[in-house]
Amino acid sequence: MSKAFLIDTTRCTACRGCQLACKEWYELPANKTKQVGTHQNPPDLNANNYKLVRFSEHLDGETITWNFFPDQCRHCVEPPCQGAADTVEEGAIIKDEATGAVIFTDKMKQFSEEDLEYVRDSCPYDIPRWDAKTKRPGKCMMCIDRLQAGKLPACVQACPTGTMNFGDRDEMLALAEKRLAEVKKDHPNAMLADPDDVSVIYLLAEAPERYHTHVVAEAPTPTSRRQLFASLRPSLTSVSKS
């Protein structure tokens, strides 16, 4: 049985325990950031932040809404990035069978800037990033080392409110449906973001665009993308290597 996260944004207080725990576990260096008029910092995902809490505020009449979105790799059921990377080098991105974790391997060290750009473009959630100098790619790896040692992912371990949940996929899907039914009482537009296609399922209280631009995948769906990549592979390979 593969694993899944349920990220229940209706419980998130944006304490950023997850964002920091991730950095601590992977011993990622701090970016030099500046205050530019928002609490969202660093401003975007990067090679040193596999996880980022995004802040989005709205004023509707007199009602203020402040949405928090702990963004990370979705570990797609059919990962388009894998298909894209395969066009550069077979097996550069792998999917761990036991957990469903999508892992960037050392083979990606050989990727050119254009190859990396291509992998990023393939992602329906705009996740992959790399270090500008070393080209080291970075994204969530589901703490696969921790999982193999019988531990929870660092972000889940750190969460104080029950926003971050992790377990067997069917358990998480059941929990997601249960929580969705509860949340719908107060938020009739509540929804799960692409639950069938991803291993990181977000529960949202309202429309995805009120959180962030890449909360749900844009058409085509991951499955058809995979087919698309497969069919295009020979020509793309030649393009990326030219």
Partner 1 sequence: MTNHWIDIKNADSILIIGSNAAEHHPISFKWVLRAKDAGATVMHVDPKFSRTSARSDFHVPIRSGTDIAFMGGMINYVLQNNKYFKDYVVDYTNAPYIVSDGFEFKDGLFSGYDPKNRTYDQSSWKFDLDSDGIPKKDTSLKHPRCVFNLLKNHFSRYSMDNVSSVTGVSKDNLKKVYEDFSSTGTGTRAGTIMYALGWTQHTVGVQNIRSAAILQLLLGNIGVAGGGINALRGEPNVQGSTDHTLLYHIIPGYMAMPKADWQTYDEYNKANTPVSNDTQSANWWRHKPKYFTSLLKGWFGENATAKNGYCYELLPKIEKGADHSYMFLFDRMYKNEITGGFIIGLNPMNSVPNSNKVRKALDNLDWLVTQELHHSETTDNWQRPGVDPKKIKTEVFLLPSAHRVEKEGTVTNSGRWIGWHDKAVEPEAEARSFGAAFVPLMNKVQALYKKEGGKLPEAITLQNWPKTYDAEYWTRLINGQFTKDTVVKGKKYKKGQQVPSFTALGDDGSTMSLNWLYAGSYTEEDGNKAKRRNPKQTDMQANIGLYPNWAWCWPVNRRILYNRASVNADGMPLNPKKAVIKWDGKKWIGDVPDGGWKPMSSGEGKHPFIMSKHGHGQIFGPGRKDGPIPEHYEPVETPIDSHPFSKQLSSPVYKRIDSEMDKLAKPADPKYPIVLTTYSLTEHWCGGGETRNVPNLLEAEPQLYVEMSPELAKEKGIKNGDGVIVESIRGKVEAIAMVTVRMRPLKVEGKIVHLIGMPFCFGWTTPGTGDSTNRLTPSVGDPNTTIPEYKASCVNIRKADKLTEIVR
Q: Which residues bind partner 1 (CB under 8 A)?
A: 11-17, 19-20, 23-24, 29-39, 41-42, 57-59, 62, 64-68, 160-162, 182
Query: In terms of CB distance, is 171 or 182 closer to partner 1?
Result: 182
Quote the least distance from Cβ 83 to partner 1, whole Å: 33
Give the position of tokens 């050119």.
112
Please state the closest distance from residue 19 (CB atom) to partner 1, in A: 7
Residue 92 or 180 having the CB closest to partner 1: 180
Least Å from the CB of residue 180 to partner 1: 14
Two tokens, residue 106 = 């050392």
Minimum distance of partner 1 from residue 12's CB (angstroms): 8
Phi, psi of 172 (to 5 degrees): -65, -40
d(CA 39, CA 228): 39
Query: What is the DSSP secondary structure assignment for residue 164, as one 8-state letter?
Result: E
Q: Nearer Cβ to partner 1, position 111 or 202?
A: 202
CA distance 145 to 141: 9
- 3-state DSSP helix/strand/coil % of the chain, to nearest 5: 35, 20, 45
* Closest CB 178 distance from partner 1, rounded Å: 11
Q: Is 69 left (phi over 0), alpha (psi -120 to 50) or beta?
A: beta
Q: Which is nearer to partner 1, 32 or 133 (CB)?
A: 32
Residues 6+ apart with CB under 8 A from 76: 102, 124, 197, 198, 199, 222
Helices (H), 41-129: 80-86, 113-122
Q: Which two tokens stand for residue 49?
A: 């932040």
- Closer by beta carbon to partner 1, 88 or else 140: 140
Residues in the chain: 242
Q: Which CB sits closer to partner 1, 58 or 241?
A: 58
The CB-of-235 to partner 1 minimum distance in angstroms stands at 41
